[in-house]
Structures are given as C-alpha cells and as structure tokens.
Amino acid sequence: MEKTKQKQITDFLINNGVIIVMFILVIVAGVTTQNFFTLNNLTNLLNNMSFRLVIALGIAGCVITAGCDLSAGRLIGLGGCISGVLLQRMDYSGKFFPDMQPLNVFLAALIAMVICAIFGTITGFFIAYLSVPPFIATLATMEIVYGLNMLFTNATPLGGFTTEYTNVGSGKFLGLSYLVWIALVVAAITWFIFNMTRHGKYMYAIGGNPQAAEVAGVPVKLTLILIYMKAAAMYGLAGFMLGAKSGGASVQLGYGYEMEAIAACTIGGVSVTGGRGKVSSAFVGVAVFELLKIALQYMGVNANAQYIAIGVVIFVAISLDIRKYVAKK
C-alpha cells in the first residue's frame, strides 16, 4: 500500500515536473528581483496571455484529435493584415485602400475570422477526405497563406489604424483589458463546445480511436473539418487582437506562435496522443509559458538563450506526455 502511494507521488512529480519547476523559477525570480510581483507585471502578463490563449484554444481542438496545426502563425498574420487594411484611418498617407471608409471593428474582426476559417475548412477537407496527415496539410496551408499574404500586402507593414481599433488593445472594462475579456469569452464558448455539445464528444472520441468512433456512428470527417475551421477562425481573431495591441500588422505578425501554443497545450495537459485535454489545460500551459519568459527576463537571462530554455521545455513536456501514454498501455 505504501509503495503504491509512493509510486503515485513519484508519478505526479514526474508528470507535472515542468509546471513545478516553472513555479519554483517564478518564486526565485520574485524573491531575487524587484517589481516582479506587481500589479503592472500581472496586467502585462494577462495582456500577453490573452491572444496566446485564443491561439492555444484553437490548436487544442486539433491536438485532442491527435493532430496539429502548423498554419496557425501565418493565419494570425493574415487575420492581422486583413483587420489592418479594413481599419486604417482616412487621413493616413499609406492607406491600403485610399477611398475605403474604415469598417466597424466588430465587422472587421468577423471578416478576418471568416476568411481564415475558409482556409481552415480547406485544410480540414484534405485531412478528413484525402487522409493527408495534419502535419503535411497544415504545413502546406502555412506556405500558401504566407505567399498569398505577401502578395496581398506586397510585404508592406500596415499602420495608421483607427482609434476605435487601437482602443481594443489599450482600453479597459472593470479594470481588465478588452483583450483579456475577449480571451475569456472565447474560453467560455470553447468550454461549452468541448463539454456540452455533441461536437465536443465527437472530438474526444476521434482522439481516442478514430476507427472505433466511425463505427459508433461519429461523423468523423465532418467533425475534423469543423475543428480545423473553428481553429482557423480563432487564429484570425488572434491576429485582430495582436494588430490592436501592437498598433500595426505585417505578414510576420504571428510567426512562430503555433509552436508556443502547441507546447503550452502539452504542458497544460492536452495530450499529443489524442483524446485528452481541457480548456483549463490550455490556460495553465499558456500561463506557465508566459511566466517562464517573464521570469527569465527579470533574472537577466540573455534573450537569445531564452529560446534554448523554451526548446528544452518543449522537449521535456512532449516526453512526459508520451511517458504518461506509454504507462497507461
């Protein structure tokens, strides 16, 4: 009995080792540096987490079905550029469409999400009906979207956004940034989809065993298409949020964010082997990742060396996830 308990404790410490080490690092950074545990730092953390959480929630659905989405970063850039060209001021000298009045911010965000969702639908079709592995399908989409965005913008950075748009990134409601509220709404909707709808049940069934799910009557192909469509729409929204926060947009806007999101999901408990993961998993993973980066910055770690630390975390997180899967077999 005692050995079983010791084994359970050991497994818990190993399986959650990354999160434990991260929080130890945060405590060390807070104790050894000034201004770490401050309201301003917490506000910056939440703002940086907001759009990353939206991205991670989109990718989480793909990972739960034992897939992935490498196109996220380029779709974020596309969403940001589309939002940017629709929300430039009339008096801006470099206005993309000189004679077009800026749209309502909600309409611009919706257009960006719909256009990105179209690409996600196409990707999902190739995965579902032509059995193209998600890695290859999303890699192809990544390159296509990047090329189209380069042609669309002529590789020119966008600026001169309307006050209504930049206020989305700087404004607050009840003490929290609008960006944080957007992320919370997306998280609530995603939780409802994951836990309270047939689509969510189908998603977990496919991740557990796609063949068994199909035999049980799950519309596997349609569900996969909807998952990648929904994820791409979230990337478009994240691009809109990033453009508002930074006050500018370019084709490079979301470069590399898909890797962080996949790693964050895995750290939080979304299994790359499929069938397991929650909204809270994405939240925990994103929080841990952002805390890691802030802690390293406060401790004076070289900015370039931080990439090494992030890479090591990804390696360890994936290895521990595979370990849990093998142990259950």
Q: Give the domain CATH number at 121.
A: 1.10.3470
Burial string for 70-108 (b: 16+ CB within 10 Å, else e) reads bbbbbbbbbbbbbbbbbbbeeeeeebbeeeeebbebeeb
Mapped onto helix, strand or coil, the DSSP state of residue 172 is strand
pTM: 0.89
8 occurs within a structural domain: no
Report how far residue 18's alpha carbon sits from residue 20's, in angstroms, rounded to the nearest whole number. 5
118 occurs within a structural domain: yes
Q: What average pLDDT does the structure give for the chain?
A: 85
15 occurs within a structural domain: no
CB neighbours of residue 252 within 10 Å: 16
pLDDT recorded at residue 259 = 84
The count of structural domains within the chain is 1
CB neighbours of residue 114 within 10 Å: 13
pLDDT recorded at residue 71 = 93
Mapped onto helix, strand or coil, the DSSP state of residue 128 is helix
Segments forming the whole domain that contains residue 63? 20-328
81 occurs within a structural domain: yes
pLDDT band (50, 70, 90) for residue 16: low
Determine phi and psi for 249, rounding to 5 degrees. -150, 155
Report how far residue 191's alpha carbon sits from residue 203's, in angstroms, rounded to the nearest whole number. 13
Report how far residue 115's alpha carbon sits from residue 283's, in angstroms, rounded to the nearest whole number. 26
203 touches 59 (CB < 8 A): no
1 occurs within a structural domain: no
13 occurs within a structural domain: no
74 occurs within a structural domain: yes
Percent of the chain whose pLDDT exceeds 70: 91
Determine phi and psi for 158, rounding to 5 degrees. -110, 145
3 occurs within a structural domain: no
pLDDT per residue as tens digits for the range 31-50: 777 777 777 878 888 888 89
